[in-house]
């Protein structure tokens, strides 16, 4: 697990860590169940603070990409085995928007139509 951190970037360090781990999973460089380096190891190796690494891990944990506790350390969430996995955070974001739409008085069918349409016309992001 080697990270390439750009300290002059305006993307915060903890986010760079988080992003590279997510991409590592997506590219298959990190496998579900695989052990991640300890927060301390990563911190020393990268010359940054433990809590900066922890912030990345906490975020990944909250998003459902990794599991982390005091005994076992951090591992890639085994449930991301197959493609089609939707993170907790993404699912939550979706739920929030759908709530708003429902409250706006949009019917179930209208919503599903819109979602399908957006799915079709959607390419890339970020």
Partner DNA sequence: TTATTTGTATTATAATTAGTAATACAATAA
Partner DNA sequence: TTATTGTATTACTAATTATAATACAAATAA
When asked if residue 40 is in the footprint of DNA (CB under 7 A), the reply is yes
Q: Which of 30, 74, 76, 80 binds DNA (CB under 7 A)?
A: 74
Report the partner that residue 15 touches, choosing among a second copy, DNA, none (CB closer than 5 to 8 A by kind). Answer: DNA
Report the partner that residue 73 touches, choosing among a second copy, DNA, none (CB closer than 5 to 8 A by kind). Answer: DNA
Question: Which long-range contacts link 37-45 to residues 24+ away (Cβ below 8 Å)?
Answer: 37/1, 38/73, 38/74, 39/74, 42/1, 42/3, 42/17, 45/3
For residue 11, the SS3 value is coil
Catalog residues that contact DNA under the rule CB under 7 A: 10, 12-15, 36, 38-41, 48-52, 54-55, 57-58, 61, 68-71, 73-74
């Amino acid at each position: 697990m080697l990270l390439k951190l750009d300290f002059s970037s305006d993307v915060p360090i903890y986010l760079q860590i988080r992003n590279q781990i997510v991409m590592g999973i997506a590219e298959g460089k990190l496998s579900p169940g695989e052990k991640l380096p300890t927060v301390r190891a990563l911190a020393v190796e990268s010359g940054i603070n433990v809590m900066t690494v922890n912030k990345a891990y906490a975020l990944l944990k909250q998003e459902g990409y990794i599991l982390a506790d005091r005994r076992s350390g951090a591992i890639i969430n085994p449930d991301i085995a197959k493609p089609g996995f939707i993170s907790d955070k993404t699912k939550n974001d979706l739920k929030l928007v759908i709530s708003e739409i429902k409250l706006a008085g949009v019917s179930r069918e209208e919503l599903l139509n819109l979602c399908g349409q957006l799915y079709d016309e959607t390419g890339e992001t970020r």
